[in-house]
Amino acid sequence: MPTISFIQPKGGAGKSTSALILALELAKGASTALIDADPNAPIVKWHARGGRADNLTIIEADRERSIFDQIEDAERQTAFVVVDTEGVADLRAAHAISASDLVIVPSQGSALDQDNAARAIKLITDQERPMRRTIPHAVLLTRVSAAIQSRGLKAAEQQLVEHGVDLFDTRLIEREAFKAMFSFNTTLDDLGPEDVSGLERARDNAMAFTAEVVQRLKTLSGQGEAAAGRRAEDVRAGA
């Protein structure tokens, strides 16, 4: 039932790749819908060219219909709904946020990505008061170099922590296997070591990311309910 949206008003941050990775991993254990709300339709194209997995339904968002309604419809059909949005500051991102249990803001850690991540986070927190609930969100560092940690990335990470931004422990590493999912219109599980290098590490990375998402959702829906309620009270009180 949880809906997880990927929001970043800048292109190239790895939104679609992260969304596809998460949806494919979730679909291994539960029915999952991936709503492609990007007019460039990268996920829909991936699917049309042969990309598919058991338990995974790809939905092309109808731009003339409320994304809120489309998410709600999908939530009645599948256990998880993942929403990939356009890499621009689009109103539909705001609607997707309002219907989300968790918003993931992918960022490469560059200054430009960070600025746009901050815009997305402001929009999320601005919506909490009228929605009368907290909207859990966290930044996911993406396309991180496996070999070296740049000073820029360290600075970006420190900046996020200083501003109290929740950050995923897992980072998505820049891996050939992630790109290959789109190049070959396939999944990590259907790729073989002869297709790309570092496949096992990519799979581990995808699983670690998914495990962290699921852990966050469990915390929010279960033992974290009381704390979330208290935070919601704080939001209502304007704290």
C-alpha–C-alpha distance, residues 87 and 176, integer Å: 22
Say whether 139 sits in a helix, a strand or coil: strand
Give residues 107-126 in contact with another protein (rule: CB under 8 A). 119, 122-123, 126
Residue identified by tokens 């996911």 is: 140
Site for another protein contains 29 (CB under 8 A) = yes
Give residues 215-234 in contact with another protein (rule: CB under 8 A). 215, 217-218
Q: Is the dihedral of CA 203, 4, 77, 223 positive or negative?
A: positive
Say whether 35 sits in a helix, a strand or coil: strand
With CB under 8 A as the rule, give the number of residues binding another protein: 58
Identify which of 84, 82, 99, 91 has the alpha carbon closest to the alpha carbon of residue 133.
99
Between 128 and 150, whose beta carbon lies closer to another protein? 128
Between 30 and 112, whose beta carbon lies closer to another protein? 30
- How far apart are CB 99 and another protein at their closest, in Å? 6
Between 13 and 151, whose beta carbon lies closer to another protein? 13
Between 44 and 124, whose beta carbon lies closer to another protein? 124
Site string for another protein, 180-209 (x = CB under 8 A): ------x--xxxxxxx----x--xx--xx-
DSSP classification of residue 223:
T
Identify which of 206, 141, 204 has the alpha carbon closest to the alpha carbon of residue 167.
141
C-alpha–C-alpha distance, residues 226 and 92, integer Å: 30
- How far apart are CB 91 and another protein at their closest, in Å? 4
Give residues 49-108 in contact with another protein (rule: CB under 8 A). 63-64, 68, 71-72, 75-80, 86, 88-91, 93-95, 98-99
